[in-house]
Structures are given as structure tokens and as C-alpha cells.
Amino acid sequence: MLKENRNLLYKYIKGIIGQKKCHVFAINGIEDHIHILTEIRPDISVSDFIKDIKVASTYFIKNEKLFQGFEKWQVGYSVFTRPYEWKENLIKYIDNQEEHHKKTSFRDEYHKLLIKNGFHDD
């Protein structure tokens, strides 16, 4: 995703989430992925929440021609829950994505998150 159009996408995604009466604390990313720190109401399924974001934002990206060559989001996604007390640190982490990924690739970061959260490497 080109840097100059990311904020338009993030604003649009915040609108999608806001329509669901959920709150976005932070959203940011780099060329190949985004992070969203949000609270989701208990009556909303996570899979529907993500699907709705992907479907609507795909239409927006294509309609506005934000990212040349963009066809669709990847099939999967990851969701991690964290205690509310972690909120400020998570906001800083998400806000600092560009600097973070100069040191750590997405693949390495994701691998470490999976291991840290009890998933086996396979």
C-alpha cells in the first residue's frame, strides 16, 4: 500500500468500525499489512467483523484507485486479545509500525506472535 493513500484507507476503516458502534484506538500499517486496536461489542462475531471490513475496504480501494495493482486482501487474518491495561503500549506499537518493521520483518513478527501466544511452529 502506498504510504500517501494509507490514511484515506485508515479513515475509511475507522468509519466502518464506527458504524458497528465499536471504537478504534489505533490503526496503522506498512505495505503488506495493517494493525487495528479496537474493542468489539460482544454481539458481533469476529469473523463477520473482519469480513465486513475487508469487503467494504476492498470496494473503497478499487473505486478510489488508492493502491495500483490491489486485487484483494489476503484470505486469513489474526486476532489477539489483550488486557485493557496494555492499551497505551499497543497504541505506541501500532503508531510505530514503520520504524518497527525496519528492524523486524512481518514474517518474523508474526512467527514470534504465534509462538508467544501458544501456537506451534509448523
Give the start-to-end residue ranges of the domains of the chain: 3-116
Question: How long is the chain?
Answer: 122
In CATH, what is the architecture of 3-116?
2-Layer Sandwich (3.30)
Local confidence pLDDT in tens for the 122 residues of the chain: 567 789 999 999 999 999 999 999 999 988 778 999 999 999 999 999 999 999 999 999 999 999 988 888 988 898 989 999 999 999 999 998 877 777 878 788 888 888 888 887 65
pTM of the model: 0.85
CA distances from 47 to 40, 75, 86, 100 (A): 11, 12, 23, 27
Cα–Cα dist 68/84, whole Å: 37
Q: Cell triple for residue 43?
A: 454481539
Cα gap 75→19, rounded to integer Å = 23
Classified as helix, coil or strand, 61 is helix
